[in-house]
Amino acid sequence: MVDKGTIRSLEKVGVVGAGLMGHGITHAAATSGLEVVMIDTSMEKLEYALERIKTILHNDLKKENISNEKFQSSINRIIISDDYNMLDGCDIIIEAVYEDKDLKDSVISNTSKFLSKDGVFASNTSTIPISILSKAITTEERFIGIHFFSPVNKMKLVELIKGDKTSNDSLSTALDFVKLIGKQPIVVNDGPGFFTTRVFQCYTNEGMAMLYEGVDPFAIEKLAKKAGYPVGPLAILDEISINLASHISGQIRKYSDKTKSSSDEPWDKVIDLMVSKLKRTGRSNGAGFYEYPVNEKKYLWEELKNYFSISNIPILEIDIIDRFYFSQALETIRCFEEEIICSFEDANTGSILGWGFPKNTGGILSFVNEYGIKRFVERSNKLAEQYGKRFKAPKLLKQMAASGEKFK
């Protein structure tokens, strides 16, 4: 668990990148009383980002969540600029640019020199290993991952990722910053996709795998909600964009030692069809797994059945639900086995706040404990026989079943 002790003083924050994540982080910092410099190469993008922040604040003002005074003071704390020199003296700089290593390397090397004496540089990457990105800074011990979730103003969780050389002081500074802006931190170790991205994608991948196998898309979405997830896997893919999901999977695969395949998995084939052939990339372009008529409620695209024929062989409801639960739980256990995540509490918190694992379970590892370790191994192996080796119980789980241990 994260220490809730005294929060140190931080005054000036730099945010590089004025996109969705950048303006969200800027809003969070400014409304928490911090001076923020938001940097981008385009003043037009920066002006647009500032308007987005004002819209969020206006909505809060209408709901009486903030006062007029807080609205104005928050705006006054934000400086927008296309000049890197404005970052001079920042206690923490967070890069929030596109998920591309070369771009991030350039931003890091060009902006890290403006940190204050004990300042910390943070990357908002969701996939690229921190120990690789830190090579772009001369003081690697002052580099850390701070992974926010979208939309930042609504998502409480922040995942802090320690690189090979991240110092305890840098981790403390990052923790203090996250506490100051009112977020809930979890701390994980480095690796492709870290904890949350790596485990979250199991949910969407499983939804696409079932679609590819011929499971009715209506059943996929309906039973995901019945299982307790807030949004179905196909709907959430549309929201984050199928293009982005493909890019994230590619980044994790690129930096992973164990993932050799590139397009052999069923979800890869679904993504290829939707993006490359059908040009249906999600809600942002008005067409994905769902249709988005103007001023009307979205609905599943009826033509899906022409590309993914519904199988005549029925699949049990419990199998669909368990595939969602078990795919994510097993990947979490692998993360535990690899020491990507070492805290029972952080794993549970991350699963609920990060991707909406059903709250009634108490969190992903509590679900495994409650199910029963030995019974969980048996069910995993049965799913592996029916649906693929990704459901095979990891060595750690088998050892725990044999010894009678539980996660704690």
Q: pLDDT (tens digit, 9 = 90+) per residue, 97-144?
A: 999 999 999 999 999 999 999 999 999 999 999 999 999 999 999 999
Query: pLDDT at position 154, please?
Result: 95
Length of the chain: 408
Average pLDDT, rounded, for the chain: 94
Number of C-beta neighbours around residue 14 at 10 A:
29
CATH T-level topology, domain 12-189: Rossmann fold (3.40.50)
Q: Number of helices and strands (H, E) in the chain?
A: 17, 10
Q: pLDDT (tens digit, 9 = 90+) per residue, 30-66?
A: 999 999 999 999 999 999 999 999 999 999 999 999 9
How does strand 157-162 pair with strand 143-148? antiparallel
Between CA 230 and CA 236 the distance in angstroms is 10
pLDDT above 70: percentage of residues in the chain: 96
Note the pTM of the prediction, 2 decimals: 0.93
Between CA 169 and CA 357 the distance in angstroms is 32
Q: Which residues pair with 95 in a beta bridge?
A: 16, 123
Inter-axis angle of helices 317-337 and 217-226, to 10 degrees?
Answer: 60
pLDDT bin (cut points 50, 70, 90) of residue 8 is low
